[in-house]
Amino acid sequence: AQKITQTQPGMFVQEKEAVTLDCTYDTSDPSYGLFWYKQPSSGEMIFLIYQGSYDQQNATEGRYSLNFQKARKSANLVISASQLGDSAMYFCAMREAFAGGTSYGKLTFGQGTILTVHP
Amino acid sequence: GAVVSQHPSRVICKSGTSVKIECRSLDFQATTMFWYRQFPKQSLMLMATSNEGSKATYEQGVEKDKFLINHASLTLSTLTVTSAHPEDSSFYICSASDTDTQYFGPGTRLTVL
């Protein structure tokens, strides 16, 4: 079963506008972490934002915010005031049990969303 | 944030040769490093988890004799693609964890002719 789902293969946004990239997840582990990474055409994976399953507040980092809806198992990324440099592939990822688990903290990635920012 | 380096960034080799890719955590110690493979416009696929001083844990379907992983120290893990073939051509990315967050290397683009 797909653990992380990104249903938007591609998204377009006008410069200076906000955009929401969708991510839903599935886990039975009560303790987990959700991540968003940006991958520009150069290939490097850039960490954007992290949300822990027990965090009460939605995570924010500059122009990035994570709309965490635990009951719906969604962790959408909101980018405000889009810039041309935001054009890239964006990945949502989940980390399940770390210490003591068999997964050693490995990440499971969604399929990715290609964001294109138009001038 | 923490820095992870990868070397080489790009390599072209002939079919049948072996290629070694290095992954280093530059400013932190990483007991665990991860190796991913990515095809164009696709997601990252975890190949193996590398723990310092112990054998790597490979994901299902990944040939451990084909992709040799060594985690010799807390700052260095290596991936060796043995007897490479054109189908091994891909983008290989490593990451290192300092507890909460995984930091990724810049990736290595392997082309096997």
pLDDT digits (tens, 9 = 90+) for A49-104: 999 999 989 999 999 999 999 999 999 999 999 999 999 999 999 987 654 444 45
> Which DSSP state fits A79?
E
Q: Determine the Cα–Cα distance for residues A67 and B78; give it in Å rounded to an integer.
A: 37
Q: Show the tokens assigned to A40.
A: 């520009």
Q: Which of A4-8, B33-37, B54-58 has the lowest mean pLDDT?
A: B54-58
pLDDT tens readout for residues A12-46: 999 999 999 999 999 888 888 999 999 999 999 99
- Buried-state track A16-34, b at ≥16 Cβ within 10 A, e below 16: eeebebbbbbebeeeebbb
Compare all CA atoms of chain B with the CA of A32 and give the residue at the minimum distance.
B100
Does an H or E element contain B108, and which? strand B108-112
Contact B93 A35 (CB under 8 A): no
| Backbone Cα Rg of chain B | 13
Instruction: Please give, rounded to a whole number of angstroms, the shortest distance from the CA of A16 to a CA of chain B.
Output: 26
- In whole angstroms, how far apart are CA B85 and each of A32, B8, B16, B82, B112? 38, 18, 6, 9, 6
Given A35, A43, A47, which is nearest B1 (Cβ)? A47
The stretch B18-47 carries a mean pLDDT of 92
Going by DSSP bridges, is the β-strand pair B108-112/B10-13 parallel, antiparallel, or unpaired?
parallel
DSSP string, B4-40: EEEE-SEEEE-TT--EEEEEEESSS--SEEEEEEE-T
Q: Length of chain B in residues, anyone?
A: 113
pLDDT at A97: 64
CA distance B21 to chain A (A): 16
- CA A114 – CA B43 distance, rounded (Å): 11
Which residues of A, range 78-117, sit inside 8 Å of B by Cβ? 89, 91, 95, 98, 104-112, 114
Among A72-76, B71-75, B91-95, whose mean pLDDT is lowest?
Answer: B71-75
Residues 6+ apart with CB under 8 A from B68: B79, B80, B82
